[in-house]
Amino acid sequence: MNPIKEYARKILRLLHTLCAGSPISDSWFKSHYDYAATIVSKNLKHHISDPAPRILDFGCGDGIMALGVQHKTGFNVTGVDLTSAFQLLPESAAKSIGIKTLPSQLHFFQLEENQPLPFENFSFDGVYSWSVFEHVADIRGHLNEIHRLLKPNGVCFIQIEPLFYSPYGSHLKRVIDEPWAHLRYDETTFLQKALSAEDQISDEEKDILYQNNSFEKVKAYLISEYQKLNRVKVDAFLALVEKAGFKIAKKDLYQVKEIEIPKELSNKFSKNDLITNEIRLILKKE
């Protein structure tokens, strides 16, 4: 690695830290800019040796995490998503960390559904995806695309949370705070409970979606997202990863063991699926 470039990156990161102002008060911004971006950054930096790597954020959403990864690594980061929520990033970044201009090494593209990613083969040294793959319909197809875009020996970090069969795998915990409710009730009853739920979310837990819409619109959106979940199981996802041509370099399963599994569920689903809340994978393209 070029020592001058690395020193320059350290100086830029130090200047950002000094200029960031007061601690971040927005819990949504902080969790993605600090917590999630730190995890991703450490995993990518450990496996990437290129002095000026290009990184793809697959499913970047509002772009907060991509900004965090860029600031923490100095890498060139490109975020892609089906939505244009990242257009709100300049405003949220200015409010939360006091920056006036986004880094020149940070770029965003809005994708077209069911279309290949708009990049040439071997465009990226690394790819990461945070809480995205439980939402995509064509898991194998998207894994193939990521494999295509990675350079030889490239690295991909994938995190999924929560997995569908885990206690709050419906992604509706903020509406129905009852473990495995989506598996215990029939679909009609579960959706009725979600639709009739009242707003009990504290202001500090409300993300951009909550901040810019009525609670009824938020519920409608969350329910529509629940209905789109692919419901992939742990072993099935791992098998798809390998079929796409990746080698699993590291696998971490985070499991919920303090909640007792209802008997009617333990007879229908595997314990591994019921208690595995999160997967983190390091994948290598050989």
pLDDT digits (tens, 9 = 90+) for 80-104: 999 999 999 999 999 999 999 999 9
State how far Cα 60 lies from the chain centre. Answer: 7
Judge residue 97's burial from the number of C-beta atoms within 10 Å of its C-beta, 0-12 exposed, 13-18 middle, 19 or more buried. buried
pLDDT in the model for residue 212: 75
Handedness of CA 119, 120, 121, 126 (dihedral sign): negative
**Two tokens, residue 86:** 């990242």
What whole-number percentage of the chain has pLDDT above 90? Answer: 78
Rounded distance between C-alpha atoms, residue 55 and residue 125, angstroms: 6
Q: Are 123 and 97 in contact (CB under 8 A)?
A: no
CA nearest 117: which of 125, 128, 126, 109? 109
Domain ranges in the chain are: 3-164+230-284, 181-228
Neighbours of 182 (CB within 10 A): 24
Which residues, 6 or more positions from 17, have their beta carbon under 8 angstroms from its beta carbon?
Answer: none
**Two tokens, residue 55:** 């990184």
pLDDT in the model for residue 24: 83
Per-residue model confidence as pLDDT tens digits over 33-69: 999 999 999 999 999 988 899 999 999 999 999 999 9
In angstroms, the Cα distances linking 116 to 82, 129, 143, 146, 163 are 12, 17, 11, 10, 25
First-last CA distance in the chain:
21
CA nearest 55: which of 40, 38, 34? 40
Rounded distance between C-alpha atoms, residue 6 and residue 160, angstroms: 31
Q: Quickly state the pLDDT bin for 8 (edges 50, 70, 90).
A: very low
The fold adopted by the segment(s) 3-164+230-284 is: Rossmann fold (3.40.50)
* pLDDT exceeds cutoff 60 at 5: no
pLDDT in the model for residue 198: 86
